[in-house]
């Protein structure tokens, strides 16, 4: 590495802002599921928007490529550099403003989601985005991937929670509109361009975000269900009866078995059911538990639910969520898997599960199907784990075919091959092959106008 280049960055970033120690960079180059390992000449860690601006301007002038990274929790490889300079936003971690009366919080890109949730809670407000990696995932990455999670049915995806953005553009200019407005119809809504753009159109440095009232009462229940159709019916029956559902997650039997085995968790229900649902209800009045108990027992009596349990304290509620949120970690010891993050219209979930299973097993007989996710918004994490006795290397050969077959089912049901994780590098072949040509051309045209030198996250999205 040229000493001159390092010295240039060190001059305005200081020693803390440029990291060359291989051991310190290593954790930033490895995707946590061990699916991607990258390399980079050095890592830049600016702590202000001005520093980001200087970095990008310099890189634009010198044709240097950057890969931006937040909490490194992305699941499609988009945050892992392959030779590019790594731009880590983790030091850009200030919460600039909290305005409870505007229901608005302004946070920098490197703020960890959990810290944002806590900051809102301290002001008697709630930032409703909730997902398994919230202890590491950062705001910039969550916006760049338009993250979803468990509360999407009620509160929407990240896109619905963003009021305004501050973005360093590929030419070093700044787009800045950290607005608190819910209504603003003045021209193109430019911020939408950067949300879910996977860092290809700019580096997000800060955002103004929606906060809302905190829930006063919550109830968490685990339901044992006979099949996916029952899950869909239960979702709607419970919503009609309680109007209080904030999350409705399912796990198939295999998923729960992996959870119990590999997370050391207990099954909250006395038996293993074909599907287990974790349902979260929220309300403003103390009789919420009673309403939920009544609604659930009506469904049990009607034979719509096999069994159910309601958390009697926070520890039990946490143990339900521990199982659900540990689903990815629980699969790690089981070897290679073909992973999918798909969505279909809610009513099509049962057909999807049936057809995808047939398609996957047609390719690898004995594959273990791990299906879990957000039935309340149609998003299923559909993982096909290798048969117990098949070596990883052998199974690896089938992954592309399985991906393709599962995606065929998804598309035939009017679904999306990437619901909430994005395209990154993992799904770009499937994406580019399936996306209508006109859409792809428009996306590429936008990229060419905004980042003509292709310096930002240049390997994401397009082959």
Partner 1 sequence: MKILVPVKRVIDYNVKVRVKTDETGVDLANVKMSMNPFCEIAVEEAVRLKEKGIATEVVAVSIGVTPAQETLRTALAMGADRAILLTTDVDPEPLAVAKLLKAVFEEEKPDAVIMGKQAIDGDNNATGQMLAALLDLPQATFASEVVVEGGKAKVTREVDGGLQTLEVALPAIITVDLRLNEPRFASLPNIMKAKKKPIDIKEASAYGVDLAPHLKVTKVTEPPKRSAGIKVESVGELVAKLKDAGVI
- Residues lying near partner 1 in the complex (CB under 8 A): 216, 221-222, 266, 268-270, 293, 296-297, 300, 307-316, 318
Pick the closer one to partner 1 by CB: 112 or 222: 222
Residues 6 or more apart in contact with residue 229 via CB below 8 angstroms: 350
Q: How many CB atoms lie within 10 A of CB 131?
A: 19
Q: Check if the beta carbon of residue 70 is closer than 8 Å to that of residue 110.
A: yes
Q: Provide, rounded to whole angstroms, the least separation between the CB of residue 314 and partner 1.
A: 3
Q: Provide, rounded to whole angstroms, the least separation between the CB of residue 291 and partner 1.
A: 13
Q: Provide, rounded to whole angstroms, the least separation between the CB of residue 342 and partner 1.
A: 31
Q: Provide, rounded to whole angstroms, the least separation between the CB of residue 258 and partner 1.
A: 20
Pick the closer one to partner 1 by CB: 255 or 310: 310
Q: Provide, rounded to whole angstroms, the least separation between the CB of residue 315 and partner 1.
A: 6
DSSP assigned state of 91: T
Q: Check if the beta carbon of residue 105 is closer than 8 Å to that of residue 40.
A: no
Pick the closer one to partner 1 by CB: 304 or 368: 304
Q: Provide, rounded to whole angstroms, the least separation between the CB of residue 105 and partner 1.
A: 20
Q: Provide, rounded to whole angstroms, the least separation between the CB of residue 251 and partner 1.
A: 16
Pick the closer one to partner 1 by CB: 120 or 359: 120
Q: What are phi and psi of 324, to 5 degrees?
A: -65, -45
Pick the closer one to partner 1 by CB: 255 or 317: 317
For 234-274, what is the HEC assignment? HHHHHHHHHCCEEEEEEEEHHHHHHHHHHHCCCCCCCCCCC
Pick the closer one to partner 1 by CB: 267 or 453: 267
CA distance 161 to 191: 12
Pick the closer one to partner 1 by CB: 39 or 124: 124
What order of strands is seen across the sheet that includes strand 95-99? 95-99, 104-108, 203-210, 162-168, 174-177
Give just the sign of the alpha carbon dihedral 321, 326, 328, 331.
negative
Pick the closer one to partner 1 by CB: 223 or 364: 223
Pick the closer one to partner 1 by CB: 310 or 380: 310
Q: Provide, rounded to whole angstroms, the least separation between the CB of residue 296 and partner 1.
A: 5
Pick the closer one to partner 1 by CB: 269 or 443: 269
Q: Provide, rounded to whole angstroms, the least separation between the CB of residue 316 and partner 1.
A: 6
Q: Check if the beta carbon of residue 356 is closer than 8 Å to that of residue 283.
A: no
What are the strands, taking DSSP E only, across 49-161?
66-69, 85-88, 95-99, 104-108, 125-126
Q: Check if the beta carbon of residue 186 is closer than 8 Å to that of residue 458.
A: no
As to burial, measured by CB atoms within 10 angstroms (0-12 exposed, 13-18 middle, 19+ buried), residue 309 is middle
Residues 6 or more apart in contact with residue 308 via CB below 8 angstroms: 221, 222, 223, 224, 269, 296, 300
Q: Provide, rounded to whole angstroms, the least separation between the CB of residue 377 and partner 1.
A: 25
Q: Provide, rounded to whole angstroms, the least separation between the CB of residue 126 and partner 1.
A: 14
Residues 6 or more apart in contact with residue 320 via CB below 8 angstroms: 220, 222, 268, 278, 311
The DSSP secondary structure of 325-384, one letter per residue, reads HTHHHHHGGG--EEEEEEE--GGGHHHHHHHHHHHHHHHSTTPEEEEEEEGGGTEEEEEE
Q: Provide, rounded to whole angstroms, the least separation between the CB of residue 327 and partner 1.
A: 19
Pick the closer one to partner 1 by CB: 293 or 435: 293
Residues 6 or more apart in contact with residue 450 via CB below 8 angstroms: 169, 170, 193, 201, 202
Pick the closer one to partner 1 by CB: 99 or 298: 298
């Amino acid at each position: 590495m040229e000493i001159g280049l390092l010295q240039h960055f060190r001059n305005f970033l200081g020693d803390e802002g440029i990291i060359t120690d291989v051991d310190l960079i290593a954790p930033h180059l490895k995707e946590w599921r061990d699916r991607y390992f990258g390399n980079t000449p050095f890592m830049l860690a600016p702590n202000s928007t001005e520093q980001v601006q200087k970095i990008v301007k310099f890189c634009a002038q010198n044709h240097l490529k950057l890969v931006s990274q937040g909490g490194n929790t992305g699941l499609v490889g988009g945050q892992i550099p392959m030779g590019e300079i790594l731009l880590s936003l983790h030091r850009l971690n200030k919460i600039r403003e909290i305005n409870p009366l505007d229901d608005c919080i302004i946070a920098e890109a490197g703020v960890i989601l959990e810290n944002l949730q806590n900051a809102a809670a301290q002001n008697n407000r709630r930032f409703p985005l909730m997902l398994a990696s919230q202890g590491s995932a950062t705001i910039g990455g969550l916006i760049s991937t338009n993250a979803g999670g468990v509360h999407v049915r009620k509160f929407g995806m990240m896109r619905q929670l963003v009021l305004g953005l501050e973005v360093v553009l590929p030419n070093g200019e700044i787009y800045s509109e950290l607005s608190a407005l819910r209504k603003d119809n003045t021209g193109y809504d430019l911020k939408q361009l950067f949300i879910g753009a996977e860092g290809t159109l700019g580096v997000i440095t800060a955002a103004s975000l929606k906060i809302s009232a905190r829930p006063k009462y919550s109830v968490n229940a685990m339901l044992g269900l006979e099949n996916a159709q029952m899950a869909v019916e239960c979702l709607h029956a419970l919503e009609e009866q309680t109007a209080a559902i904030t999350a409705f997650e399912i796990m198939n039997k295999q998923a729960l078995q992996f959870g119990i085995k590999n997370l050391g968790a207990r099954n909250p229900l006395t038996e293993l059911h074909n599907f287990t649902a974790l349902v979260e209800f929220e309300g403003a009045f103390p009789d919420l538990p009673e309403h939920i108990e009544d609604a659930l027992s009506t469904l049990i009596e009607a034979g719509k639910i096999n069994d159910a349990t309601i958390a009697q304290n926070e520890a039990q509620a946490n143990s339900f969520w521990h199982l659900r949120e540990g689903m990815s970690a629980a699969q790690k010891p089981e070897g290679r898997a073909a992973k999918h993050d798909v969505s279909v219209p809610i009513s099509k979930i049962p057909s999807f599960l049936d057809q995808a299973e047939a398609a996957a097993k047609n390719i690898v007989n004995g594959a273990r199907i791990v299906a879990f996710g957000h039935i309340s918004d149609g998003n299923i994490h559909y993982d096909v784990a290798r048969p117990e006795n098949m070596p990883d290397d052998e199974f690896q050969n089938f992954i592309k075919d399985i991906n393709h077959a599962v995606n065929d089912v998804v598309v035939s049901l009017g679904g999306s091959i990437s619901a909430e994780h994005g395209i990154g590098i993992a799904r770009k072949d499937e994406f580019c092959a399936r996306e209508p040509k006109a859409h792809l051309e428009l996306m590429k045209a936008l990229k060419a106008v905004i980042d003509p030198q292709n310096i930002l996250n240049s390997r994401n999205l397009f082959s």
